[in-house]
Amino acid sequence: MAAIPKALFRLSTAIILLLCSRMASAQQAVPLDDRVNQHIFSYREIECFEDPGNHFTIHDVSDTAFSKRFQPSKDFIPKNYHFKSTYWYRIKINHNQTGNSNWVLEFYDQTIDYIAFYAPDGDHGFAENIFGASLSFSERPLNHKNFAIQLNPQLKGDDVYYFAIHSRQPANIMVVLKRMGWFIQYGLKEYFLSGFFYGMILVFCLYNLVMFIAFRQRQYLYYIMYNLAIGIFEMSSNGFAYQYIWPKAPEWNEIAYAVALYVASVCSMLFTREFLYLKTKAPLLNRLILWVIGFRTAFFLYCFFISRELFVYKFVDAVPLLLAFYSGIYILRKGYHPARFFVAGYSFLVLGFIIRVLKTVASHNLPFGPFNFYSLSFCFFMEMLFVSFAIGDKVKWLRKKKDLVQKRMMAEMQLNQELKDNLNRELEKQVQERTREVVEKSAVIEQQNEELLSVNELLKQQSEEISRMNAILEKDNQVLQGDIKKVTQARVMSAEMNFEEFSIIYPDDETCFRFLSDLKWEKGYQCRKCGHTHFFNGHLPYSRRCSKCSYEESATANTLFQHAHISLNKAFYMVYIVYTTKGKISSYKLSEALSIRQSTCWSYSSKVKKLMEERKKELRNAGEKGWSKLVLE
């Protein structure tokens, strides 16, 4: 009998230990307590399950047999590590609250594309709410920049909430339970501080716009574009842009932050080049910045047009940031004092970037708080503030430099004035001495001038006589040249001549072109395409281009010499000699006289003989100009 109580004791002990271990492994329920403003679900309070096939539903995951697949979060804030998978999460809330406050569940990451939230309806079912960055802003349960949903105040006891998340970019699954009063109070503070932050960005932009109007330097425009891009990036990250700028265009949520980061990076490097005078003070850094701008632009275009998934690699903007920071340090060490505020501002940016990296890679060891959540915005503000100081310091430095230059100019002007006065006094003495010499010589010069006047009058009369005789001789010379030309041309047209004599009239191609032009258009020009009668000079010698249709016709076009492969004066001579000998000259003799291949001479002479035979009637009474009638086709 004593063995039975001992066995029962062991059995009860085992049952108690099993229940304790079961309770220890069960999911922790978060109670609703009015004494707590908010609670962040973390570690064992939030359990997750990855669905790579995206085919499970709320009925599947809420089944009791499916419960073992959910595992407690290993990180303080869970993340989606595979962008093609759907992640299911569940949290447990104890509704036996100590007061009568209403409660809200808020998702802090506004970039999540799709959230399907399933809240217990009190009747063993679930109420579905779907929202996300890929959906219209009006579909959100609460009109707030973050995803928020109010809990049912009628529920009692422990209830499990499920939500499925699918996002094409990294997402932090940070779920916060808040009292409604604290949610409103915190939201008002957040909106007020954000309004102050964006207002200061506008103030910095207006400040730089005034500086641009005053100094007309491009660096101020670059910094204005940088500030606006940072503002758009922050608004895209915090959800304000979706709420106020493009609430009906969710597709912008996917690329707005990437476009803003690209503009900010490029404008930051362009501003760095101009502000630090890298082109003259550090040419190597200047070229390196231009190369980085080129690579950053190529990466942006590749992501935008080919693979937008690569936009998630925001760390590429660390290269422009560190390059600008190093450039500021380098120029400061060379003695450019306005760079000290520039370096201070970019030091805050580097600090913010480091905090953001730690927040990304070590989130499980870096709990959520205002410091790490708003650290980058604060660093952006400090960077803009210190760079504004740097711009003002640069203006002050330029003013000092200008005053120094003006003082040097005044000293140089004073020295120049003294030198000028001494030179003027010296010149005045020399002028007085020279004046006396001139007065003494003026009498002699006046007498010589009178003699020169009389000689000039005589020379003028002789010049007029010579001019009259030259005019008569020039007129006679022109008549004589015309007579010689006519006689020579008449001899060429009527008698057989050798090539040397023929070349006197047609010595080169230009003379031949002029002859063909006068022959073709002796009755006036008319375009062969449109019939227009007005023309301009063409690109080729003596060619004509129609002023209406721009058709250009060369002097050799539609003549016997079109596409000629020998010089025109030799081609002219072949036509002339074949015509004057009535085709009796042999191709061998032509080849010997012109130093042209016999086959070429035979080809031309055969063509001329054929034309003479075809135009026998026209050539019968042609006289000395008969050979020219063979030219035009």
What confidence tens digit (pLDDT) does each residue in 601-633 have? 888 888 888 888 777 777 766 665 666 667 776
What are the tokens at 488?
């020579």
**β-pair partners for 117:** 129, 163
Contacts 24+ apart (CB under 8 A), 56-63: 56/86, 56/88, 58/116, 58/118, 58/126, 58/128, 58/162, 58/164, 61/88, 61/90, 61/162, 62/118, 62/126, 62/160, 62/162
Q: What is the pLDDT of residue 18?
A: 41
Of 195, 271, 289, give the one whose Cα is nearest residue 226.
Answer: 271
| Strand, helix or coil for residue 624 | helix
Cα of 163 vs its chain's centroid, Å: 44
CB 141 within 8 A of CB 104: no
CA distance 194 to 201: 11
Q: Which residues contact 564 (CB under 8 A, 6 or more apart)?
A: 556, 571
CA distance 85 to 82: 6
* H or E segment to which residue 468 belongs: helix 375-494
Q: Which residues contact 233 (CB under 8 A, 6 or more apart)?
A: 257, 260, 261, 264
Could you identify the residue written with the tokens 């003799």?
589
What are the tokens at 324?
């600008």
- HSE-CB at 33 with a 13 A cutoff on CA atoms is 7
CB 340 within 8 A of CB 332: yes
Q: What is the pLDDT of residue 283?
A: 92
CA distance 252 to 298: 21
Q: What is the pLDDT of residue 160?
A: 92
Of 565, 586, 596, 580, give the one whose Cα is nearest residue 630.
Answer: 580
CA distance 134 to 116: 12
* H or E segment to which residue 579 belongs: helix 568-580
CA distance 209 to 483: 82
Taking the whole predicted model, whether its pTM rises above 0.75 is answered as: no
For the chain, list residues with pLDDT below 50. 1-5, 7-9, 11, 13-25, 364, 368, 486-487, 490-494
DSSP string spanning 365-427?
Answer: GS---HHHHSHHHHHHHHHHHHHHHHHHHHHHHHHHHHHHHHHHHHHHHHHHHHHHHHHHHHH
Q: What is the pLDDT of residue 136?
A: 86
**Which amino acid type is present at position 627?**
W
CA distance 47 to 90: 5
CB 532 within 8 A of CB 546: yes
- HSE-CB at 110 with a 13 A cutoff on CA atoms is 23
Q: What is the pLDDT of residue 90?
A: 93
Cα of 113 vs its chain's centroid, Å: 31
User: Do the strands 86-94 and 71-72 form a parallel or antiparallel pair, or are they unpaired?
Assistant: unpaired
End-to-end CA, the chain? 143
Q: Where are the alpha helices (DSSP H) in 52-116?
A: 58-61
User: Do the strands 38-40 and 175-179 form a parallel or antiparallel pair, or are they unpaired?
Assistant: antiparallel
CA distance 192 to 102: 24
Cα of 413 vs its chain's centroid, Å: 47
CB 578 within 8 A of CB 552: no
Q: What is the pLDDT of residue 430?
A: 86
Neighbours of 543 (CB within 10 A): 18
CA distance 202 to 348: 20
The strand order across the sheet containing 38-40 reads: 38-40, 175-179, 103-107, 147-150
CB 136 within 8 A of CB 143: no
CA angle centred on 500, ends 499 and 505, rounded to 5°? 90
| Strand, helix or coil for residue 152 | coil
